[in-house]
Structure 1
Amino acid sequence: MNDPPANPAGADRRPREGAAAVEFEALADDAWLLRLGERIDDALNARVHALAARVRAPAPPWLRDLVPAYASLAVFFDPARTDAATVRDWLLQRCGESADGGDIAAEGTARVVEIPVAYGGEFGPDLDEAASQLGLTAPQLVERHSGGDYRVAMIGFAPGFPYLSGLDPALALPRLASPRTQVAAGSVAIGGAQTGIYPRPGPGGWRLLGRTPLRLFDARREAPSLLQPGDRVRLRAIGADEFHALSDPARATPA
């Protein structure tokens, strides 16, 4: 498993001048990609999730899957039930009545999930160095990082890996010059201007601040991924004893 990019390909590019609010691109015979922009931006990502909710709510029988990203939404449909042109026309109406996509406002109430995190020591080997680079003490970094208002901008890189927007810009950190060959499952890290959580063991180059005992991805669960795009995430700092008490069974607390 390779390390997740600090900025997914194309996500930090500025939108082309005069670009339409929503651009359609055929991914395959059974999928459309709806582009709302080409940058990492919380307001833009909120529009992506609002559009996903607007597409999902009517539960059209041809809809197979929705995959939100930072600035785009992939819509997969059943070609045995409908055709690409019909789906495009239907999606245009969900975007707005005009061909340029209209105005998609954020809507709905996001689920809130609490993620307990044990910071520092064996759980977060980069905490002290990261704090020093930022001109903070380790407790100050823990307080500021755990106090953030995060949103699952997208799931990517690996099954269940959440890219969390909402990191305090002052806490942004570059990736390690030499990635680790092994990162523990549940590791909570900073990569560039984002926070993420490694769902399974593997190599990685993000700065490890702590670890959660929760299992972010389990194929045996009805919903394998603990976090879903659009979820709000609250990090709660815990100690080693609580970490081990929560390790089995893994669980989270939606609010």
Structure 2
Amino acid sequence: MGERGLLLTFGADAEDRAAREAVRAADAALGAAAPGWLLEAVPSYVALLIVFDPLATDHEGVAAFIDAMAPAGGRAPAPKEWEIPFCPANGYAPDLSEVAARTGLAEEEVIATFCAATFEVAMLGFAPGYAYLAGLPEALRLPRKSAPVPSVARGSVIVAGAQALVMTLDLPAGWWRIGRSPMKLLLPEAEGVSPLSPGDAVRFRAIPAAEMPS
């Protein structure tokens, strides 16, 4: 990772919940210890990137600090629970019919299955406010589209593989659009960018088009 970074890996499978919990615990412990050389800690699904000041320490020093910290352990912050409203009506869910066809489910079954799931915020990243949600039911898992949609609307609820995501910006995406949420999930940077945090539990609630902002 160059002269300023050390990558801690806790597993190889993005669906390994224990590995994700270990990442959050290590991130919390490192944040609590707050060593002077620490510039940034960047958690992902199963790894934690530690960015340090190379004038204050080196890879060996960081590794020794982590080894000494490990026995004391760390505890990730208690997860919060969120309910995200979303509208799966035709105008907001342009891919719902194709998802239904590809999964062999009726559109109503796709939405019911999606809303019955409890997701876990696995990581934040790629774009501001993007919270990658692990736990998409097996019955709804599809590969990404062969070509991305040039602009997917902010608030779109999208799925691919074992994950779901709510778009926070109008950006290209190759995931399947099954609804749109009116919930604000992109905050000013001073407020933390996203109200969601890794480890939080998320459920979705379908709402009618009448409840969407005009």
Contact map agreement 2:29 2:75 (CA 8 A) in 1: no
Select which of 12, 22, 30 maps to 1:47: 22
Contact map agreement 2:89 2:208 (CA 8 A) in 1: no
Letter in 2 for 1:125: P
Letter in 1 for 2:70: C
Instruction: Give SS of 1:175's match.
Output: coil
What is the alpha-carbon distance in structure 1 between the residues aligned to residue 88 and residue 125 of structure 2?
A: 24
1:237 aligns with 2:212: no
Q: Deviations over 1:107-164 (max 9, x none)?
A: 5521223222111311111112212222222122111112211111112222221211
1:149 aligns with 2:113: no
Letter in 2 for 1:68: P
Instruction: Give SS of 1:96's match.
Output: helix
Q: How many residues align structurally?
A: 213
CA shift, 1:30, in A, is 3.0
| Structure 1 gap segments, 5+ residues each | 1-26, 98-103, 246-255
Contact map agreement 1:134 1:171 (CA 8 A) in 2: yes
User: 1:17 aligns to what?
Assistant: none
Letter in 2 for 1:28: G
User: 1:13 aligns to what?
Assistant: none
What is the alpha-carbon distance in structure 1 between the residues aligned to residue 89 and residue 145 of structure 2?
A: 17
Identity %: 37
| Structure 2 gap segments, 5+ residues each | none
What is the alpha-carbon distance in structure 2 between the residues aligned to residue 163 and residue 179 of structure 1?
A: 18
TM-score normalized with structure 2 length: 0.86
CA shift, 1:77, in A, is 3.0
Instruction: Assess, with a 3 A threshold, how the Cα gap between structure 1 residues 203 and 171 changes in structure 2: closer, same or farther.
Output: same
Instruction: Assess, with a 3 A threshold, how the Cα gap between structure 1 residues 63 and 241 changes in structure 2: closer, same or farther.
Output: farther
TM-score normalized with structure 1 length: 0.74
What is the alpha-carbon distance in structure 1 between the residues aligned to residue 80 and residue 28 of structure 2?
A: 13
Contact map agreement 2:120 2:201 (CA 8 A) in 1: yes
What is the alpha-carbon distance in structure 1 between the residues aligned to residue 191 and residue 148 of structure 2?
A: 33
What is the alpha-carbon distance in structure 2 between the residues aligned to residue 108 and residue 203 of structure 1?
A: 33
What is the alpha-carbon distance in structure 2 between the residues aligned to residue 60 and residue 111 of structure 1?
A: 27
1:33 aligns with 2:7: yes
Instruction: Give SS of 1:163's match.
Output: strand
What is the alpha-carbon distance in structure 2 between the residues aligned to residue 62 and residue 213 of structure 1?
A: 41
Instruction: Assess, with a 3 A threshold, how the Cα gap between structure 1 residues 221 and 113 changes in structure 2: closer, same or farther.
Output: farther
CA shift, 1:210, in A, is 0.8
Q: Deviations over 1:192-221 (max 9, x none)?
A: 121122221122111001111223324455
Instruction: Assess, with a 3 A threshold, how the Cα gap between structure 1 residues 166 and 105 changes in structure 2: closer, same or farther.
Output: farther
CA shift, 1:79, in A, is 4.5
Contact map agreement 1:169 1:193 (CA 8 A) in 2: yes
Identify the range of structure 1 (55-64 vs 177-186) with the bigger mean alpha-carbon deviation. Answer: 55-64
User: 1:251 aligns to what?
Assistant: none
Instruction: Give SS of 1:119's match.
Output: coil
Instruction: Assess, with a 3 A threshold, how the Cα gap between structure 1 residues 219 and 94 changes in structure 2: closer, same or farther.
Output: same
Instruction: Assess, with a 3 A threshold, how the Cα gap between structure 1 residues 30 and 201 changes in structure 2: closer, same or farther.
Output: same
Select which of 121, 138, 144 maps to 2:107: 138
Identify the range of structure 1 (181-190 vs 148-157) with the bigger mean alpha-carbon deviation. Answer: 148-157
Contact map agreement 1:42 1:165 (CA 8 A) in 2: no
Contact map agreement 2:85 2:204 (CA 8 A) in 1: yes
User: 1:11 aligns to what?
Assistant: none
Structure number having the greater helix percentage = 2
Contact map agreement 1:149 1:232 (CA 8 A) in 2: yes
Instruction: Assess, with a 3 A threshold, how the Cα gap between structure 1 residues 106 and 220 changes in structure 2: closer, same or farther.
Output: closer
Letter in 2 for 1:67: V
